[in-house]
Amino acid sequence: MPAPISEEQKTRSRAALLDAAEALFYERGIQAVGMDAIRTAAGMPLKRIYGMFSTKEDLVVAVLQRRDRRWRASLTEYVEQHEDPRERVLSIFDWLERWFAEPDFRGCAWINAYGELGSTSPAILVEVRAHKQAFHEQIATWVEAAANVPAEPVSLLAEGAIVTAAFTGDTRAARPAQAAAKALIN
C-alpha cells in the first residue's frame, strides 16, 4: 500500500496542476485542451486530477481564481509604488503595456474564457464577472484618490486597451488609453 500523500505534497500537486492547466488554457484555449493534455503537462494521473477537481469546469474556475489573485496583486504592487494619486492612475496603463509586451500575452484570460464558455457555464460566468468587478473596484480606488471624476471611463479605457492589444498585437495599445485617462483626471 502506498504511503499517504502529505498536505505539502497535495499543495505542490495542486499548484503544478493549476500551472499546467493555466498555461495550456491561456495558450490554446479552454475547449481546445483536453484532460489528457493537462494530465501529460502536469505529470499526474487523471484519477489524481479528478480527485482534486471533479470536472474540467471546476479546474477552469480554480485557474481563473488563482490567476485573478496573482494578476491583480501584481498590478497593485506596481501601481502603489507611486506616491502621487494621479501617477498611480496613469501607472495602470504602464503596467498594462508591460503585460502586453510579454511573449506569451494572449489577451485577457477572463474575456477569453467568457468568449468560449460564458454563455454555457454559469460557474465561469460568475468568475469572469467577479474578476471584472474586482478590477473595476481596484481602479475606482485609485481614481477616487486622484480626482473627483467617475472611475468607469478609466476602467473602460483599461479594458479597451487590453482587448485592443490582444486583437491587434499592438503592445503600445495602452498609450492612447493612458492619454485619455490623463485628460479625464486632469
Whether residue 110 is predicted with pLDDT greater than 70 in this model: the reply is yes
Are residues 96 and 28 part of one domain?
A: no
Are residues 119 and 43 part of one domain?
A: no
Are residues 65 and 36 part of one domain?
A: no
- Contact between 97 and 175 under an 8 Å Cβ cutoff? The reply is yes
The CATH number that applies at residue 31 is 1.10.10
Are residues 76 and 32 part of one domain?
A: no
- Return the CA Rg of the chain: 19
Are residues 165 and 84 part of one domain?
A: yes
Are residues 114 and 145 part of one domain?
A: yes
Are residues 86 and 98 part of one domain?
A: yes
Residue with cell 496583486: 73
Are residues 74 and 50 part of one domain?
A: no
Question: pLDDT value at position 51?
Answer: 93
pLDDT tens figures, 129-177: 999 999 999 999 999 999 999 999 999 999 999 999 999 999 999 999 9
Are residues 33 and 104 part of one domain?
A: no
Are residues 169 and 156 part of one domain?
A: yes
With residues binned 3-state (H G I as helix, E B as strand, rest as coil), the percentages for the chain, rounded to 5, are: 75, 0, 25
Question: pLDDT value at position 2?
Answer: 60
**pTM for the complete prediction?**
0.92
How many domains is the chain partitioned into structurally?
Answer: 2
Q: Is 66 helix (H, G, I), strand (E, B) or coil?
A: helix
Can you point out the beta strands (E) in 65-184?
none
The CATH number that applies at residue 174 is 1.10.357.10
- Contact between 92 and 139 under an 8 Å Cβ cutoff? The reply is yes
Which residue range(s) make up the domain with 28? Answer: 1-54
**Higher pLDDT among residues 6 and 146, named by residue:** 146
Q: Which of 54, 79, 98 is the last residue of a domain?
A: 54
pLDDT band with cut points at 50, 70 and 90 for residue 71: very high
Are residues 65 and 85 part of one domain?
A: yes
Are residues 86 and 50 part of one domain?
A: no
